[in-house]
Chain A
Amino acid sequence: MSVDHHQSLWSRRELLARTSNGFGLMALAGLMSESQSADKAPSASVAIPARAKHVILCFMDGGPSHVDTFDYKPELARQQGKPIGDSQVSKLSQSNAGRVWFGSPWKFAQRGQSGLWVSDLFPHIAGISDDICVVRSLVGRQPLHGQQNLLLHTGRVTGLAPSFGSWVTYGLGTDNQNLPGYVLLNNDWIPNGGIENFSSAFLPATNTATLLRAKGATIDNIQPTDSIEKQRRKLALLRAQDQTFAQSTPEHHLIESAIRNYETAFRMAVPEIANVDQESESLENSTGSTAPTTIRSTTPCNACEPVGWSKPAFDSLKSRAR
């Protein structure tokens, strides 16, 4: 992510365009949110007006440890190399008395006016320490990846509860009923804990994340198997056939809505519609700002799920720890 006034590798616009393989497609995914079983998305009217309109959650699985970044633990360095001893053995983790303490090799300092502890590992973040908020109250008790991921995303180690993004979209609603409130950018990689990390659980199904893949086809089955001409002829046949069927049944609204979905699906699968460059340009021109407009105008919650860190520093740390 671009860090404000610092030099960044990618502009925000580039990031969105690259990681989503066509962020304009998000608009199309929005057309997919109609659900027969789900109630209408709640309106955005609440007692206390929320200042935040959008949330971007970057879940950086496999990132550096808190003790190497924001959580200054000088005692760890003092105990470096000493066995942890019987008193520190925990039943929850697989520790034993012979394991040794390992202090952070990074230097810590208090930064900015706030005095936020940040290690030298994050020099840029150290420079903007007065602009960020570090939450230190997030504690898990089970040393298991899946359970902790579920805890972070859904608030419970067991899952079975709505994802963070589902609550945000449920609470904020979405400005545009044609677009999904909750979009998940991912790299065909399911974090531990599974798809349930992004599930709406007991909230209406429209609050489930719409998954956009960063590589290959953005949405499942978006690549048409037939030529456009052939698909058009096929749909004409189906339309005629299905109208007859819809008219013959008292539940015609079900059939008619399924027919409409075919039309939408056909429009979605046309490649020109999915052209991100045109989409971003037009958004840029119409609002005078860059690609996060798409977020601004559409989605209250985005969860980015990168494959993990490219982490030479972290890897060298791990090898030293062994």
Chain B
Amino acid sequence: MYVNRVWHWLFGAGLVTTPDDFGHVGERPSHPELLDALARRFMDEDWSTKRLIRSIVLSRTWQQSQDAAAGALDIDPTNRLLHHFPVQRLDAESLRDAMLAVSGRLDATLHGPTTNPSRLSEDPQKRLFSGPLDGLGRRSIYTKITIMEPPRFLATFNQPAPKIPTGRRDIANTPTQSLAMLNDPFVTNQAEFWAAQLITRQDASIASRLQHMFLKAVGREATSEELSRWADAARDFAETENIPEADRLASTSLWQTMAHAMFNTKEFLYVR
């Protein structure tokens, strides 16, 4: 059960795709011998989650690219046999943490007190208090959770209610999430924070600034086509706001817009 969950967390789907139900209405494992072998190894290695994760991520299966081989999708359209590494949406906490990490606001301190999520209104009788918008840069795992009202941003991205163990989260794909990425004050706040860092950099050109942003946000270099696409957009935004060419590398407003757009790319939201 546990080994299957770890597999599920790593690949987005378990060897048994119903991690909460190994009973007769649950799905059968796609690779029963593998599941048994991993479970045995897990017990032999003192129930060490760290070792379990290490043995999975050192496998060739984990290290595959996200490209599907020709014909593979015809034979196994749902990728049950893991012929490529599946694209996965970041879960709620990872998404929030990723924005903090990219903007430079992340406080990586381990342990310490929890912070209240930012709320629209407080209700002391129900112990609903509001915390700072950026949660002091603390990782999402340190967000205070109450069963009365979940943290809005995290719940929007399917952080489950805290009352029952949830082996498999819903991965809803809704316009509410798009609205959150476009308009939630946390996202714009993090874009602003990132912009403040960006304008202090000694970048030679708009293009090299953009190249830095691609590396930071999606972990790869931009293609030349992408660079010109984003540079065109930066020029349009700057012209609309009447920012003279000489001031563009130092304009917080311009780079907040670009940072906000970068957070809103699907490549940021999905891992491959």
- Residues of A with Cβ closer than 8 Å to B? 31-38, 159-160, 188-190, 192, 194-196, 199, 205, 216, 219-226, 229-231, 233-234, 236-238, 240-242, 244-246, 249-251, 254-255, 257-259, 261-262, 264-266, 268-269
Question: Are the CB atoms of A38 and B240 closer together than 8 Å?
Answer: no
Chain B proximity of A29: nearest CB distance (Å) = 9
**Any A CB within 8 A of the CB of B230:** yes
Closest residue on chain B to residue A242 by CB atoms: B266
Bound together, the chains give a CA A227 to CA B266 distance in angstroms of 22
Bound together, the chains give a CA A176 to CA B11 distance in angstroms of 36
Closest residue on chain B to residue A189 by CB atoms: B123
Question: Are the CB atoms of A194 and B179 closer together than 8 Å?
Answer: no
Bound together, the chains give a CA A268 to CA B177 distance in angstroms of 13
Q: Which A residues touch B174, using CB under 8 A? A: 32-35, 261
CB-contact partner of A234 in B66, B146, B257, B270, under 8 A:
B257
16 new A-B contacts at CB < 8 Å, known A220-B156, A242-B265, A258-B270: A32-B174, A34-B173, A36-B171, A190-B128, A199-B161, A221-B176, A221-B184, A224-B182, A226-B257, A231-B182, A233-B233, A233-B236, A250-B79, A254-B89, A255-B266, A264-B178
- Residues of B with Cβ closer than 8 Å to A? 66-68, 73, 79, 84, 86-87, 89, 120-121, 123, 126, 128, 146-150, 152, 156, 161, 163-164, 170-180, 182-185, 188, 225-226, 229-230, 233, 236-237, 240, 257, 260-261, 264-267, 269-270, 272
Question: Are the CB atoms of B178 and A195 closer together than 8 Å?
Answer: no
Q: Which B residues touch A236, using CB under 8 A? A: 233
Chain A proximity of B101: nearest CB distance (Å) = 20
Q: Given the known A-B contacts A230-B257, A237-B233, A249-B87, are A221 and B172 also in contact in the complex, defined by CB atoms under 8 Å?
A: no
Q: Which A residues touch B150, using CB under 8 A? A: 195
Question: Are the CB atoms of B177 and A190 closer together than 8 Å?
Answer: no
Question: Are the CB atoms of B266 and A258 closer together than 8 Å?
Answer: yes
Q: Given the known A-B contacts A250-B73, A257-B173, are A224 and B164 also in contact in the complex, defined by CB atoms under 8 Å?
A: no
Chain B proximity of A218: nearest CB distance (Å) = 12
Question: Are the CB atoms of B66 and A190 closer together than 8 Å?
Answer: no
Q: Which A residues touch B261, using CB under 8 A? A: 234, 237-238
Question: Are the CB atoms of A188 and B67 closer together than 8 Å?
Answer: no
Chain A proximity of B3: nearest CB distance (Å) = 23
Question: Are the CB atoms of A269 and B173 closer together than 8 Å?
Answer: no
Q: Which A residues touch B225, using CB under 8 A? A: 244
Bound together, the chains give a CA A199 to CA B162 distance in angstroms of 13
Bound together, the chains give a CA A224 to CA B128 distance in angstroms of 27
Question: Are the CB atoms of B182 and A245 closer together than 8 Å?
Answer: no
Bound together, the chains give a CA A241 to CA B230 distance in angstroms of 9
Q: Given the known A-B contacts A36-B171, A241-B267, A261-B173, are A250 and B178 also in contact in the complex, defined by CB atoms under 8 Å?
A: no
Closest residue on chain A to residue B182 by CB atoms: A265
Chain B proximity of A184: nearest CB distance (Å) = 14
Q: Which B residues touch A34, using CB under 8 A? A: 173-175
Q: Which B residues touch A205, using CB under 8 A? A: 170, 172
Question: Are the CB atoms of A264 and B148 closer together than 8 Å?
Answer: no
Bound together, the chains give a CA A284 to CA B29 distance in angstroms of 55
Chain B proximity of A153: nearest CB distance (Å) = 14
Question: Are the CB atoms of A238 and B264 closer together than 8 Å?
Answer: yes
CB-contact partner of B173 in A224, A258, A266, under 8 A:
A258
CB-contact partner of B176 in A32, A225, A231, A258, under 8 A:
A32
- What are 13 contact pairs spanning A and B, CB under 8 A? A32-B176, A195-B148, A196-B147, A220-B176, A225-B185, A233-B236, A236-B233, A237-B233, A249-B66, A259-B266, A264-B175, A269-B182, A269-B183
Closest residue on chain A to residue B69 by CB atoms: A250
Q: Given the known A-B contacts A229-B240, A255-B270, A261-B178, are A38 and B161 also in contact in the complex, defined by CB atoms under 8 Å?
A: no
Q: Given the known A-B contacts A35-B170, A205-B172, A254-B89, are A221 and B269 also in contact in the complex, defined by CB atoms under 8 Å?
A: no
Question: Are the CB atoms of B179 and A219 closer together than 8 Å?
Answer: yes
Bound together, the chains give a CA A245 to CA B89 distance in angstroms of 13
Q: Which A residues touch B230, using CB under 8 A? A: 237, 241
Closest residue on chain A to residue B172 by CB atoms: A35
Question: Are the CB atoms of A194 and B148 closer together than 8 Å?
Answer: yes
Interface pairs A-B: 9 shortest CB-CB: A265-B178, A221-B183, A250-B68, A221-B179, A251-B87, A194-B148, A264-B175, A237-B233, A35-B172
Closest residue on chain A to residue B169 by CB atoms: A37
CB-contact partner of A230 in B87, B163, B240, under 8 A:
B240
Chain B proximity of A145: nearest CB distance (Å) = 10
Q: Which of A195, A222, A257 has the most CB of B within 10 A?
A: A195
Question: Are the CB atoms of B87 and A254 closer together than 8 Å?
Answer: yes
Bound together, the chains give a CA A195 to CA B147 distance in angstroms of 8
Closest residue on chain A to residue B272 by CB atoms: A249
